[in-house]
Amino acid sequence: MTVLLDGKKLATTVRSKLKERTATLRAKGIIPRLVVIMVGDNSASAVYVRNKKRAATEVGIEAVDLHLPGTTSQDELLALIDQYNQDPKVHGILVQLPLPQQIDEKVVTQAISPLKDVDGFHPMNVGQLFMGTPQAFPCTPRGIMELLAAYDIEVAGKNVVIMGRSNIVGRPMAALMVNHDATVTITHSKTQNLAAITRQADILVVAIGRGEFVTKDFVKPGAVVVDVGMNHNAEGKLVGDVKRDDMLDHASYLTPVPGGVGPMTIAMLMQQTVEFAERS
């Protein structure tokens, strides 16, 4: 019997604890404040920003939502980020990706102060994560670790295989797993004998952006499967990178899509904002 890892339920618990923490901060005169900057009119980004703002308001974080025109120059965006870096009343800064082509994402990521980098993407924060002394975490990998811990799934000593090497999920996920004493393998588009490698995983994390690519042939019986994918199939239905029906009664644990990793990503963004406010 496969147990579904309920990220929606856990995210609700995380948010209710955060409400208490923001209430304590507000009693001290500190209002946790998150600035979310979106450039241009990407419809998917607009949905993400709306969801983040709604979650922030619910837990007592003041969300400053800035929607800039698609013609905004890189210098204009950098000047705005610098303004919020200097503002002691702002605890977190998030620039929603993707950005228009005239703006270099790397330059923007590096412009956000590491102390306000709620996405955990600044090279300094990434470096500290890989050194085992993290100050900020990318939210999706952190959400996955919280989800595994909530279901008492032990990571130490386990074989963990991560499919995908993105800077947002795959690489930081590997660092977090190593920090928790797992033995980690990262696979990617150039990996040979892919299924032979993934079948060795006690815990398989899939973040490749290919709808229902992973079938039971990739997964050893009883493995824990974490599906980070968000794709729409031919019928327009939201599906993960893993073929869910193949995993039922095959995997021991599985994150559903939707309702698994997604809600935890936003919950961790809120948690990190509150932590930054507490440190301030």
From 6, 116, 117, 119, the catalytic residue: 119
From 6, 52, 128, 216, the catalytic residue: 52
Active site residue 96: yes
Active site residue 192: no
Ramachandran class of 249: left when φ > 0, alpha when ψ lies in -120 to 50, beta otherwise? left
- The reply to whether 50 sits in an annotated binding site is no
- The reply to whether 252 sits in an annotated binding site is no
Q: What is the b/e burial string over 31-42, where b = at least 16 CB atoms within 10 angstroms of the residue's CB?
A: ebbbbbbbbbeb
Q: Which of 57, 16, 229 is nearest to 140 (CA)?
A: 229
CB 41 within 8 A of CB 177: no
CB 113 within 8 A of CB 93: yes
Q: Which of 228, 127, 212 is nearest to 175 (CA)?
A: 127
H or E stretch at 95 = strand 92-95
Q: Which of 183, 211, 210, 177 is nearest to 197 (CA)?
A: 183
Active site residue 52: yes
- The reply to whether 164 sits in an annotated binding site is yes
From 6, 96, 116, 216, the catalytic residue: 96
State the chain's maximal CA–CA distance in angstroms. 57
Q: What are the residue numbers of the active site?
A: 52, 96, 119
* Residue list, annotated binding site: 164-166
* Residue list, annotated binding site for NADP(+): 164-166
